[in-house]
Structure formats: C-alpha cells, structure tokens
C-alpha cells in the first residue's frame, strides 16, 4: 500500500487502567515509527486528554453505541485495532460489513462466553501465552503474543502513608482483594500485625485492609513498601507486578493467568484464591525468605520493555496487512 499504514485505535472506556496505559504508549511508539494513527475514544475519558496533540482523535460514546460503528466506518484507516471488549463488539460489526482488517487486543484471561464476534477478527494480540491459549480455545484464527511494555517508574521518596505490604489494582472482584483481606486476617490471628494497603479505585471494599484510593504517587508507595502483593484470581499479565519488580520489591503473587510468565522464578507464587497460602507467602517475604529482587529487576527490564511491546504490535499489524500467515513466537518459557 502507498505511504505508511493508517491504523485506527478504538477504545470505548473512560477509565485510566492498564489497557489505557498500554494504548497511550503504543500511540507514542507508532508515531515515532512513522505510522499514521488515529485514536477513537470517549472525549470524557482520561485517554482522550492524555493523547492531546499526539495524533488525530475522534470522539465516540463510551460503552457500546451504534454511533461508534458509523464513526469507524467513516474513517479511511487500513486497519482497526480494538482495545476493549465493547470496541471488539462494535468493530466486529463493522468487519461484517466491510473488508477492512480487524485486530483485537486481549488483556484478560477469563474464558469468553462464546458468540459470533470471536471469529470475526483477522488476528488477536494477546499479552501472555495464558491469554493466547484461551483465545485459541474459542476458535481464534491467529494470535500474536506481545507482552505489555513497562518502564521503571521514576524514583521518589517514600510516601508517609505508604503501607508495609502494598497492592495496586482496581477494586474489582477478579483482582482478589477478598482473598487478600482473608489472608490479612490469618496473619493477624497468627501474631503478624502488618499494615496492608490497596491503591486503586472501584466499588469493592473488604475489612482488614487499608484502602488508599486512586493514587498518582505509586512510585512513592513502592518506595515505602517492604513487600508487593498481587492476589488476582484472574489476570492477563499484571503491569503493576512488573513495576514492583523494577522497583526492587519482593513480590508475592497468585498463579492466575499470565502472572507466572511474568515473574518466572523471581517471586513467591501461590495458588489463586488461597488465603492461607497468600498469608504464608507474605509472612515469608516480610522475613526476607524470597527470591533475589535484583534477578526480578533484570527479568522485568529484559522481557517487558515498551520498545519491545511497540515493535511486537507493529509486527503483528504488518503481518495482518500484508497477509503473512506466520504467527508471532510465544512470549517465552515463563
């Protein structure tokens, strides 16, 4: 095709979470690489504001709106990349009406409920082998494994209110904060009275944890913490875990989804949904019985760079645009 490819990035969410962080980093990388890129997202969302001046933007309603279908159809993009579940649905409807390629980014490890939309994309970009295996299980034709890219957060002095044990994540069920609250109760019953705090927004709150809300000073919280904990019961990959590894914190995490691929042998990994195992992992980490944090830092730096995420994604887009049947190499041996 003449000139650089034009990709429409479609994100129908208004929140600022891991997916939006990755989309913004990808937009920057695409612009640096000379690709034409347009962002379609809600004007009220954080992504819209943070992408100002970076690339052309198109306002679409939040959630699942037929107006988005018209907006996508009206663009001259060579490829549509859907970044959210609703974006996937709407772009799949467009794909049923036209021949423009569709790539769907998938960051969650729960099994889809099925339906026609999962066979529509020309390809998926999955953040981990765990997510890729699920997609292949529901009939995805092509899956490229491209881990998220995470840069080390800037150094900061410790936050005065930072907890000794820190979790970072939205207060939603799959993040496993109910399991963490139960583990905190077991620790206290066993004589370990430790301050466990959760930074993140959302509707769920459980007794026994300190709820810090949405924080813009995560580097300061990491600097204050002794242990980082990630108790998810479902997790595509876990950007927050990589940030903690880069910050030099010992990590205790569940075995959900792509988390074992992220940490390898450099963290304490416990069965998901098991408060007793999680409590024991936290106890061990606080006592210094954990893998070397420098090995974790090196692993994170070598495997999960933003540059590698951008390059892997562009390789996937290019393969779809050029009709290359090859499938990207899996992310690694975990």
What pTM, to 2 d.p., does this model score? 0.88
Mean pLDDT, rounded, of the chain: 92
Same domain, 109 and 24: yes
pLDDT, average across residues 307-322: 96
Same domain, 134 and 186: no
pLDDT, average across residues 85-112: 87
Same domain, 182 and 259: yes
Q: Does residue 331 sit within a domain?
A: no
Same domain, 132 and 187: no
Q: Does residue 327 sit within a domain?
A: no
Query: Which of 215, 126, 127, 206 minimizes the C-alpha distance to 169?
Result: 215
Predicted local distance difference test score (pLDDT) of residue 95: 77
Kindly state the DSSP code that residue 96 receives in the 8-state scheme. H
Same domain, 170 and 107: no
Same domain, 80 and 179: no
Q: What is the CATH number of the domain that holds 128?
A: 3.40.50.2000
pLDDT, average across residues 223-249: 96
Domain count, the chain: 2
Containing domain of residue 142, as a range? 6-149+305-322
pLDDT in tens, 201-221: 999 999 999 999 999 999 999
Q: Does residue 23 sit within a domain?
A: yes
Query: Which of 125, 114, 121 minimizes the C-alpha distance to 147?
Result: 125
Query: Which of 300, 275, 47, 254 minimizes the C-alpha distance to 178?
Result: 275
Predicted local distance difference test score (pLDDT) of residue 92: 87
Same domain, 140 and 200: no
Res 330 pLDDT > 80: no
Res 329 pLDDT > 80: no
Predicted local distance difference test score (pLDDT) of residue 326: 44
Same domain, 39 and 144: yes
Res 243 pLDDT > 90: yes
Q: 118 vs 22, which has greater pLDDT?
A: 22
Same domain, 298 and 184: yes
């Amino acid at each position: 095709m003449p000139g650089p490819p034009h990709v429409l990035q479609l994100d129908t969410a208004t929140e600022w979470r891991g997916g939006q962080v990755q989309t913004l980093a990808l937009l920057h990388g695409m612009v640096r690489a000379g690709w034409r890129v347009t962002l379609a997202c809600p004007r009220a969302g954080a992504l819209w504001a943070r992408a100002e001046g970076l690339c052309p933007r198109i306002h679409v309603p939040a959630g699942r709106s037929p107006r988005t279908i018209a907006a996508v159809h009206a663009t001259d993009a060579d490829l549509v990349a859907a970044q959210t579940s609703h974006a996937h649905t709407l772009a799949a409807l467009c794909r049923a009406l036209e021949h423009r390629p569709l790539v769907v980014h998938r960051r969650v490890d729960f099994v889809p409920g099925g339906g026609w939309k999962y066979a529509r994309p020309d390809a998926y970009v999955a953040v981990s082998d765990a997510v890729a295996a699920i997609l292949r299980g529901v009939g995805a034709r092509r899956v490229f494994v491209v881990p998220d890219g995470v840069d080390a957060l800037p150094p900061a002095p410790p936050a005065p209110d930072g907890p000794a044990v820190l979790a970072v994540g939205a207060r939603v069920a799959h993040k496993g904060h109910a399991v963490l609250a139960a583990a905190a109760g077991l620790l206290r019953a066993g004589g370990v009275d430790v301050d466990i705090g959760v930074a993140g927004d959302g509707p769920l709150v459980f007794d026994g944890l300190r709820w810090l809300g949405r924080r813009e000073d995560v580097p300061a919280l990491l600097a204050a913490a002794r242990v980082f904990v990630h108790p998810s019961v479902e997790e595509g990959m876990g950007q927050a875990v990589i940030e903690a590894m880069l910050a030099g914190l010992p990590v205790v995490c569940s075995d959900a989804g792509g988390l074992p691929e992220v940490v390898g042998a450099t963290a304490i990994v416990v069965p998901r949904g098991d408060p007793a195992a999680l409590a024991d992992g936290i106890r061990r980490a606080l006592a210094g019985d954990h893998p070397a944090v420098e090995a974790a830092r090196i692993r994170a730096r070598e495997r999960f760079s933003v540059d590698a995420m951008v390059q892997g994604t562009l390789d996937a887009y290019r393969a779809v645009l050029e009709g290359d049947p090859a499938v990207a190499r899996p992310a690694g041996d975990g």
